[in-house]
Structure 1
Amino acid sequence: MAKVNIWLKRSFIIVASLMTIIGALMLAGTLFSHGHYHRDDEIEDMIVGINAMYVLSITILVLPIIGLFGACKEKRWVLIVFTVGMILCSLFVLYMAIHMLIIQPMLVKIMSKFYLSMQPISNASESDLKVLRETQIELECCGVEEGYMEWGYNISESCLCNDYVSARCIAAPRNSSLFQLTNHTPVMIFQEPCFPIILSHFYLGVNLLVGISMGLTSLWTLSCALSIAILCQLREKKDTLVVAYSREAKTGNYAVLAEPAELT
């Protein structure tokens, strides 16, 4: 086998090391998310996605380590395993990104149906009101589409805003249950409705997910190209010593080691 170009090997080591760091960060993030949501009532709905993230992050972490070993030791079969594994991971992530873009309109339709079904809020079920209150606290909003006016007289306390100078907050109307004066300061509530904020966060999350997927796929494709280049160099034969003829060579330079035997 031929010797691998040192710059090609160093480039592969840098890319594989970066992939290892990314895999370790993904695994750490998955562990943190699992620990954060393990007491949540909705953990059963999230466990499938968490397990998928475990598999993906561990795979992304292990394969670059295998590739680093193969490149440093110049083992062809190890590099082949790395290349095949990274190609499969790239295809899987690319498929998931395309699939997310395809089902995005359907997910928007499902969310719209869920939140818009809460209107009018006065007729919403207790479970829907609980979800809406939690959403209002988390996203700092009030109402579904038309803001605090959807609550009528009984505006939820989850609409309260503690930042009196924020442009997102307005004074509660006088004909509401929250209206009161404390040191001549009116009660402030969030002005923006929740559903537009939910949609903007959803689109941002999808675009971020697709962007990360494309970035990872590009990095993995680069690592596969470098690995294939190393494999091609390892497949070449070693250079053999070339013997050149020189006219300066003289026959007289050779000495007779033994005289021919005399006639007996």
Structure 2
Amino acid sequence: MVQVNACLKLIFTIFNIFFAIVGGVIIALALLSQVITNVQGGNGLEGRTVGLIVLYTVGAITMVIAILGAYGAHRENRACLIVFLVCMVIGSLMTLRAGIPALSTRPELEDVLEAKFRELLPLDKASSDTKNMADSLQSQLHCCGLFSYMDWEDDIPDTCLCDQEEEMEGRCQSVSYQAILMPRKSVYIKTCFPIILHYVLLLSNVMIGVTFTLAALALLGLALSSAIIHQMRSHNRATILMTVPAIFTTPPPKYQELHNPPGY
């Protein structure tokens, strides 16, 4: 077995342990994001499911690659280390390709999301799916309308109405309802869009942070695995490098040619 530098092997093993921990943290973040943004049975925020699947998949793949690298270093298995190196190259390229555009478009996310939600107004004339989504959001988040209670025009639903305890806490406002002659109703002051935007930006920040963290770790793993593979190749060539070709051997001194053989 080729002997790899013990210090380098230890550093690489620690790196893979940390890499596996990062994979577990990504899965935990995905689970936490799923719990926090769990509205309308998981369909309240568009693109949420795709983002969570990506986080779960990336976390699982990260842990598998980390285990592969740790095994390769422990057993000094060159095939495992080469597979690990290829995964690091592909991973660094993919994460940088995904992370750089996501970071550049992050400041525009709020405007894009606001424009998309404004297309749903007025809510009382929207499709039944949109109304159900808005009712679910209002019921769970205790808000009224996307940007204002006037998003519902003259058909404010019961999910906007406050109870007496919430009125005493100052979370409600009194508005006219349906007609001037109708009694005023108490609805939530808080609107739903800022809450939705908060969770969308939270998930976006988590994904951007995960992407660049994985890119940095992939580049570090690439360097460490390359060093170990190079050291293993150098050990394999040691015997060849120590062999001196016969053409470069020093010829015998001239006096040996004049030396008399025994018996004279």
TM-score where L is the length of structure 1: 0.66
Q: How does 1:120-199 map to 2 (within 5 A)?
A: 120-145=122-147, 147-152=148-153, 154-161=155-162, 163-164=166-167, 169-173=171-175, 175-176=176-177, 189-199=187-197
Question: Aligned pair in 2 of structure 1 residues 120, 53: CA closer, same or farther (>3 Å)?
Answer: closer
Question: Aligned pair in 2 of structure 1 residues 64, 165: CA closer, same or farther (>3 Å)?
Answer: farther
Q: Deviations over 1:144-188 (max 9, x none)?
A: 22x224435543222245645656x12433x348978xxxxxx86
2:13 aligns to what? 13
Corresponding residue to 1:233 among 231, 234, 237: 231
User: Cα offset for 1:189?
Assistant: 3.5
Identity of aligned residues (%): 30
- Higher mean C-alpha displacement, 108-117 vs 10-19: 108-117
Q: Distance in 2 between matches of 1:80 and 1:159?
A: 59
User: Cα offset for 1:27?
Assistant: 5.5
Question: Aligned pair in 2 of structure 1 residues 227, 149: CA closer, same or farther (>3 Å)?
Answer: same
Corresponding residue to 2:93 among 91, 94, 109: 91
Q: Distance in 2 between matches of 1:170 and 1:51?
A: 37
User: Cα offset for 1:85?
Assistant: 1.0
User: Cα offset for 1:28?
Assistant: 7.1
Q: How does 1:27-106 map to 2 (within 5 A)?
A: 55-101=57-103
Unaligned 5+ runs, structure 2:
243-262
- Structure 1 residue 215 and structure 2 residue 213: aligned? yes
Pairs aligned (count): 229
Give the counterpart letter for 1:9 in structure 2: K
Judging by fraction of residues, say which structure has more helix.
2
Asked if the contact 1:144/1:195 (under 8 Å) is kept, the reply is yes
TM-score where L is the length of structure 2: 0.66
Question: Aligned pair in 2 of structure 1 residues 58, 195: CA closer, same or farther (>3 Å)?
Answer: closer
Asked if the contact 2:124/2:155 (under 8 Å) is kept, the reply is no
User: Cα offset for 1:211?
Assistant: 1.3
Runs of 4+ in 1 over 6 A off after TM superposition: 28-33, 45-51, 177-180
Q: How does 1:100-119 map to 2 (within 5 A)?
A: 100-101=102-103, 111-119=113-121
- Higher mean C-alpha displacement, 80-89 vs 95-104: 95-104
